[in-house]
Amino acid sequence: MARYNEVGQGDIFAGKLGTGELKSFLLIDLLERGVCCVPSPLSQIISGSKVVQALLLNKWMLPNTLVISRKKNLIDAIGEYNRLGIESVITKEDRMHCGFGIRKWDSVETVYSFMSMSQSSYPFILQPFMENVTDIRVVVAGDYIEAYTRHNPYNFRMNLAAGGSSRPFVLDEEKDKFCRAVMDRGRFPFAHIDILIDSDGKYYLSEIALDGGIKGADIGRIELDKKKQEVVEGIIKRRSAPN
């Protein structure tokens, strides 16, 4: 940041901007000035916001995943979910990690009753609650890809930090392409991707991030960081090559 105002057309910025709420504004400014950012500005913004993910990556997510930004959206959701016979739902609070922002409700009406007394939680994500799902974490860095299941019989959130267990999962070609398509849309050079598989075998994107936990993975943090760095260096090399 000490040299932020010196960069310009043709320069490359490697690394994530750790500037809190100012990040999106600075990334737009860098783009306008012709600075190449690695990871991409889009991936950095998507990675930091569940709501942005639901807006931009919605077609890969569970059907009827909605972004609720105001009371009108919630009122509309009550009618739509009731029409579809959807009862139990979950909400995801934006920018909350490790499962802390995920809450289960018996109906959208209950969510509305709670939210009518509060304005601080907007925007958030609303989704139907899925029973009997398989929760998969996929780690992708270049040609390296690894997947494992996360299971917690005592907590629907399935996160390993809350006492869950894991086992390796063989990712078939179809799900590999699914992950790559999501990454391409968000311009992710590498990613930690969470997938939900229902009892019928259909699968959906839950979340995606540039970084995330790897408890349950075979690869270690040092080795994974090295692979990510190799991806970054490869992008920089291609960007720096003469036309």
Report the pLDDT value the prediction gives residue 85, as an integer from 0 to 100. 96
Reduced to 3 states, what is the DSSP secondary structure of residue 13?
Answer: strand
Q: What is the pLDDT of residue 159?
A: 67
Locus of tokens 């979340």: 207
User: Is 108 within 8 Å of 81 (Cβ atoms)?
Assistant: yes
The pLDDT tens digits along the chain (243 residues) read 888 899 999 899 998 887 677 888 999 999 999 999 999 999 999 998 999 999 999 999 999 999 999 999 999 999 999 999 999 999 999 887 766 788 999 999 999 998 887 767 789 999 999 988 999 999 999 999 999 998 887 666 766 566 677 899 999 999 999 999 999 999 999 999 999 999 999 999 999 999 998 988 999 999 999 999 999 999 999 988 776
Strand 36-38 relative to strand 12-14, pairing = parallel
Look at residues 64, 15, 78, 13 and name the one whose alpha carbon lies nearest to residue 44.
Answer: 15
Cis amide leading into 39 (omega within 30): yes
Domains of the chain (ranges plus CATH)? 4-49 (no CATH), 63-128 (3.30.1490.20), 134-234 (3.30.470.20)
Put simply, whether the predicted model's pTM sits higher than 0.95 gets the answer no
Categorise residue 201: left if φ over 0, alpha if ψ from -120 to 50, beta otherwise: left
Cβ pair 125, 54 in contact under 8 A:
yes
pLDDT for the residue 18: 76
Q: How far is CA 24 from CA 1, 20, 52, 190, 201, in A?
A: 15, 9, 12, 20, 37
